[in-house]
Amino acid sequence: MSSDRDYQVIGSRPIRHDGVDKVTGRAQYGADIQFADLLYGKILRSPLAHARVRSIDCSRALKIPGVMAVVTSEDFPDPIDKVSDLEGTTGTLSNVLARGKVLYTGHALAAVAATSVQVAEEALNAIDVDYEPLTPVLDVQEAMQDEAVLLHEELYTDVVGGEKSDRPSNIAKHLQFEMGDVEKGFAEADVIVEQEFTTATVHQGYIEPHNATAFWNADGQLTVWTSTQGAFEVRQQLSDMLHLPVSSIKVVPMEIGGGFGGKISVYLQPVAAVLSRKTGKPVKLVMTRQEVFEATGPTPASYIRVKMGARQDGTIAAATAWMAYEAGAFPGSPIAPGCMCVFAPYVIENGLIDGFDVVVNKPKTNAYRAPGATNAAFASETVVDEICQQLEMDPLEFREKNAAHEGERRIDGPVWPRIGCMETVQSARKHSHYQAPLEGPNRGRGVATGFWFNAGLQSSVHASVNTDGTVNLVEGSTDIGGTRASIAMQMAEVLGISAEEVHPSVVDTDSVGYTAVTGGSRTTFATGHAAFEAATDIKQQMMARAALIWEVESDQILFDKGVFSVTDESDRSFTFQELAGQLDETGGSVIGRASVNPPGVGGAFCTNIVDVEVDIETGKVEILRFTALQDAGKAIHPAYVEGQMQGGSVQGIGWALNEEYYYDEKGRMLNSSLLDYRLPTSLDLPMIDTEIIEVPNPGHPFGVRGVGEVPIVPPPAAIANAIFQATGIRMKTLPMNPARMLESILDASQ
């Protein structure tokens, strides 16, 4: 499908449908929920990173006036399968409230519902917990040692081939992908580079804290209002943890103040539900910022070794990666996506990738924008740059020579469909930024390419035509980055009406068919695909109505750009609005619907060009210029695509230069506030220049590829490569903050 197809709506930049409510403060977020008899909840959290819980005594708390209920894990049903709960892909009951052991500082132990927040906090201080302290394990390499302290005595490694290890371990999973003959490949290489890399724990940095309000009605029906990336995912997790049928649970997604993958797992929702069941009243919980940092899912710290060999002509001969990702207290790090993405931008005939999912005494990790891929690209793209240095070859020429393309197989198995890796690299080589001179001392230019495979998954929509020619669109995808508009625009394009004439609503789990999370860069692709199908359904029904009016067969009706006509007559036509005005006389409402699970997901590539200046006296790295070039397939709303590219790039910059969790030796986080956790501000950033590349995805009616995640992947590597050009120093640890940078400068000068 050509990207220059003649569209009326797609490719335009309408004002977002929820814009007025957002800028005037009328939009309702999770913490805005109020009821006349509302109770307020607070959660008691562990001050220790690793300990057995001998006992929890809540008797003093229950005597405080205004305290209505206290719950612990004893108030929840036992997990149907302890191992399944331990290895839950999103939420685990043992993470919601500790069972037997606390496994990180901030691990929830008990919860209180009271008539005010102040009373609830007073009650927390009256709960007595008897701990047996244990040694915390805080580093992925330490946790993998045979003699390491175990977090879970029942955890055995899933090893290559689908078997389990013969003894308990902190290693939850070992993945391996292999293609070709690695030894033969390295033997053919003229240049071989092998390096080790470490990355720190990083938080998604969303501004709105986690929240949940629950009301467990006397009829057994549970309703939950919450900030979430997936209302149906919350419903399923509640069903699993509370042993309730999904038909007894309604989840109402509120507006969301950021998520980036961190608002998929449940933390507060089950606790609010059980407190409501105990009290008979609605209960609201809202995290503090410290709780968000200490008790929700950041992205994993990691240790990675990459080895790559290339021939003198610049072709890659072989590559290996050994990757260990911290899962936090429970299994489930994004090690699999990391393995899928580490060498994805390249054609590599001989490759071996080993990946390890490792538990440590930190919060259970969660998704963060292309989870696992940024860590991996920092390692692989830095090694690529060093190979280019040794070969004295332009780094973009090298990437173009080895770029992944249609028909080639990745090391982890899939064969590439139509992709835009080559196009992003070629556009970067031609870009004015890359061609511009860079003068001055301690300045350097770096490049890097990243990949994210994107997701499809299930989405449902339905839409009804109003008699004034507008359309009410009902969907189940939380709108984080403007997807109300991008989905409505796809429906409008099919129907030949304007984007403003489609009125989208994001509704609760009782009001629309199953829809997967807003994540994985799937929403504009998959829910947009559902909107396309529902609009096609409407179009067919409307053509039948026109045929009825004109007394002809439906196959004689033409529809083009919002106008219905008859094949053999040019003097009879209706606009979409004119025909909508006659629905009541031709059979009543027209309702289109669709539920899709589209298989044609298109992966996305992004290439960065970055200029930096390094202050060799302080170690501070200043970004002078930053350009992101990304394949969007087809940009439905270009302004939102640019915004995603810029936002992801900025988060990648923060990851590269400043952001990390600081832990002491006891596993206590020392920077759990936005004053001390160093997010980049406008003062730290240049304008992020963007160039949208459009290589249409053949698996989508309009060629859409997800765009939200891949822009975070290449920035750390591109910045590291620019730092090398500026200083001659290879940075192999994230973040590359002033202290670490200055230490490297001083070491290099000795």
Q: Which domains, from first to last, does the chain contain?
A: 19-27+456-596 (3.30.365.10), 33-134+208-257+263-295 (3.90.1170.50), 302-454+602-749 (3.30.365.10)
Closest CA to 357 of 343, 337, 342: 337
Closest CA to 229 of 369, 386, 134: 369
Give the model's confidence band at 90: pLDDT under 50 very low, under 70 low, under 90 confident, else very high. low
| Side chain identity at residue 650, one-letter code | V
Q: Where are the alpha helices (DSSP H) in 496-630?
A: 528-550, 576-580
Give the model's confidence band at 89: pLDDT under 50 very low, under 70 low, under 90 confident, else very high. low
Q: Are strands 591-596 and 459-465 parallel, antiparallel or unpaired?
A: antiparallel
Contact 708, 481 (CB under 8 A): yes
Alpha-carbon dihedral of residues 598, 424, 399, 445, nearest 10 degrees?
Answer: -130
Contact 631, 481 (CB under 8 A): no
Is 162 exposed, middle or buried (CB count within 10 Å of its CB: 0-12, 13-18, 19+)? exposed
The dihedrals phi and psi of 255, each to the nearest 5 degrees, come to: -60, 150
Closest CA to 285 of 519, 125, 96: 96
User: What is the C-alpha separation between 535 and 540, in angstroms, rounded?
Assistant: 9
Closest CA to 61 of 149, 3, 120, 2: 120
Predicted pLDDT at 407: 98
Share of the chain above pLDDT 70, in %: 99
Rg (alpha carbons) of the chain, rounded to whole number: 27
Structure tokens at 203: 């938080």
Reported as a single tens digit per residue, the pLDDT across 448-494 is 999 999 999 999 999 999 999 999 999 999 999 899 999 999 999 99
Dihedral sign for Cα atoms in the order 506, 510, 513, 518: positive
C-alpha pair distances (Å), 70 with each of 47, 58, 61, 123, 210: 19, 7, 8, 9, 20
Q: Are strands 502-506 and 471-475 parallel, antiparallel or unpaired?
A: parallel
Give me the mean pLDDT over the 136-152 stretch.
98
Q: Are strands 569-575 and 591-596 parallel, antiparallel or unpaired?
A: unpaired
Alpha-carbon dihedral of residues 639, 640, 646, 648, nearest 10 degrees?
Answer: -170
Which has more pLDDT, 571 or 362? 362
* Residues contacting 659, CB < 8 A, separation 6+: 200, 202, 203, 205, 677, 678, 679, 735
Contact 329, 138 (CB under 8 A): no
Contact 214, 281 (CB under 8 A): no
The dihedrals phi and psi of 176, each to the nearest 5 degrees, come to: -145, 135
C-alpha pair distances (Å), 665 with each of 138, 148, 419, 453, 662: 8, 15, 46, 37, 10
Closest CA to 210 of 113, 110, 296, 89: 296
Reported as a single tens digit per residue, the pLDDT across 331-385 is 999 999 999 999 999 999 999 999 999 999 999 999 999 999 999 999 999 999 9
* Residues contacting 174, CB < 8 A, separation 6+: 157, 158, 159, 160, 354, 355, 356, 357
What is the residue whose two structure tokens read 């990691």? 302
Fill in the DSSP letter of residue 49: S
Is 500 exposed, middle or buried (CB count within 10 Å of its CB: 0-12, 13-18, 19+)? middle
Reported as a single tens digit per residue, the pLDDT across 253-311 is 999 999 999 999 999 999 999 999 999 999 999 999 999 999 999 999 999 999 999 99
Reported as a single tens digit per residue, the pLDDT across 389-406 is 999 999 999 999 999 999
Does residue 1 register a pLDDT over 60? no
Closest CA to 700 of 3, 90, 174: 3
Give me the mean pLDDT over the 235-250 stretch.
97
